[in-house]
Chains A and B, each alone.
Chain A
Amino acid sequence: MIEANDIWVSYRGWKRKIEALTGFNLTVNQGDIFGLLGPNGAGKSTALYTILGLIKPDKGSVKVMNQELYLGSSLFQYISYLPEEAHYHLYLTVEEAIRYYAELYGYSISNPEIKNLMESFGMTEFKRLKLSQCSKGMKQKVGLIQVLLNHNAKIMFLDEPTRGLDPLTTIQFRDILLERNKNGVTIFLNSHILSEVEMICNRVAIMDKGRVIVQDELRKLLTGEQDQYEVEFEPSDAILEFITVTERSDSSVKGIINQKHLNEFFSFIQQKRLKLYQCTLKRTTLEQAFANIIKGASGEKTDSNKYQN
């Protein structure tokens, strides 16, 4: 669906050249909900602009649905795009803007359809308000409406989609995205909110310093340490050597054990007649995985490394 090969993009500053993308590679498959993550300045937005054809790369090629995108390409009839900032036609009213963006897709949007869309995002009472007078959240809702307007969309590019949204609208929009994805729409998400990515994405790429350092299925990224269990039990004089103790108090001992020692551990608890308070599969959150990968890429000692040592 999206194929980016060895993309290099640089910005010429006043005195120096800034390398925004340095050999960016990416593959997004049809039907994916793909999350592009990275710290500030990693080049996520530049990558998105390059994929959309808004920036011409110095080197490399990007193909979306096997074609290169350019400004106003006919391929955009299958693409919806939500920009990171509210870069809309601020002199238009909410209703005029929605109608304008719909008509650029070639639709004659009917009044009931506009009414329904605005109602579903709670924008009906603001339809005559100019975008320049709208709040950040209201502008974001206009952005979301114009994304959902394109009924032919096969790919949605969403740059920080829930920025400035209230929790209810966030949930509502997330549900709509999942629904559209079920109907075959590929979703490309650029987000800082890792919990959101974790909730809906099936594949992610993590960027740093202009290139993708990890690209995999989210499940695999989060199951790196899934063969480990967190246990908490009553203190005992003897502790088995395969238990990595993380915390010890008078009332309990907390530790990590490998799956292969699980049976041995249960026998030990039974034998010693100790109380077992907790035994759960150790889960890595996306936040932890992200931090580990980024720190690992920059050569820092990660939390998990420290932990293992």
Chain B
Amino acid sequence: MKKQILTNIRTDLIFFSRNILLMIIVVIMVIQTLFSIFFGTLVSYLSSVKFENIQGIVYSFNRLVYIIVAALGIIAVFSHNSQRCLKMVFTKPCLPEVWTASLFLSITIVAAILFFLSFVIGSLLFITMDVPYQKGIIFICLEEFCSALIISFFLLMLGLVIHPVLAVFLIFILNESSLYYLYLSISASLENAKTFTQAFFLDISKSIVGLLYMIVPIQNPAEEQFSEVARSWVVLPKDWGFLALFIGYTLIFSVLAAFLSSELLKRKRLI
């Protein structure tokens, strides 16, 4: 099994490196990021807001990596589905669980490399711009790494059930913040409901939205604490605790998502 996982990971990494759609996303995002890095560096030499510029550059790079990582899973699933080549894998003694686990690990490897690169770029900027080093960069990169994995795995799962375009569209609707605000607005409307029918439907809607809110994965846990770190890059001991919990959550979610994905894969007609 170990050998099969390694083989699949190698093949997935080849796939990521040769996928045209991914390349297009990378090229566009890299150009955008290079611009922000170039202008950020220029501004920092001309002004005294060097720290904010390092923050800006790292955020831009992290955003780029986040989008790439988010796209990896769904593109892999879509491409293998449309090439109908998975039957070549599963008519060999290679279980769907092994293939799925390998894909999840491949995405994790790519995400880890890219976020580590972001961390290295940020750290080098601290040195070259002669700014006191802030540990917050490690925190930010780790937090973004977990968020990117969660969104990527969630999209991958959705991509096994519905068309990828629909999956991406759903992600925009079915995210924790939009559902939270929807839940609040339904709750407010429910309080002001004038008729029984209105109240009945709003109550049902509130329950559905509440349920969806519970189901969708968390991307920004402890938003208040994390936003404080994101602003100052100063990390207090309790913040590390929150981050550790978030890493634990990501791990549990990843295992669950991998299990569900392999079950969904088994139910697909791979012909």
Contact = CB atoms under 8 A, between A and B. Distances in A.
Contact of A103 (B7, B265, B271): B7
Interface string A79-94: 1010101011111100
B176 to A, nearest CB: 34
A104 B14 contact: no
B90 A71 contact: yes
Contact of A73 (B11, B18, B93): B93
Contact of B85 (A45, A72, A73, A88): A88
B163 interface: no
Interface stretch (B43-51, B94-102, B113-121): B94-102
Contacts of B270: 54, 71
Given A91-B14, A92-B14, A96-B14, A101 B88 contact: yes
Contacts of B227: none
A52 B95 CA distance: 14
A79 B15 CA distance: 26
Contacts of B89: 72, 104
Interface in A56-94: 71-77, 79, 81, 83, 85, 87-92
A265 interface: no
B231 interface: no
Count chain B CB atoms within 10 A of each CB in A79, A87, A91, A100 and give the residue with the most.
Answer: A91
28 contacts: A54-B269, A55-B269, A71-B96, A71-B265, A71-B266, A72-B89, A72-B90, A72-B92, A72-B94, A75-B93, A76-B92, A77-B92, A77-B93, A81-B88, A85-B84, A87-B84, A87-B85, A88-B88, A89-B88, A90-B85, A91-B15, A91-B79, A92-B11, A100-B7, A101-B92, A103-B3, A105-B92, A105-B93
Closest 4 pairs between A and B when the two form their complex, measured CB to CB: A72-B95, A104-B92, A71-B90, A103-B7
Given A54-B270, A72-B89, A72-B93, 18 more contacts: A45-B271, A54-B91, A54-B269, A71-B266, A71-B270, A72-B95, A76-B91, A77-B92, A81-B91, A87-B88, A89-B15, A89-B88, A91-B19, A101-B92, A104-B4, A104-B89, A106-B3, A130-B18
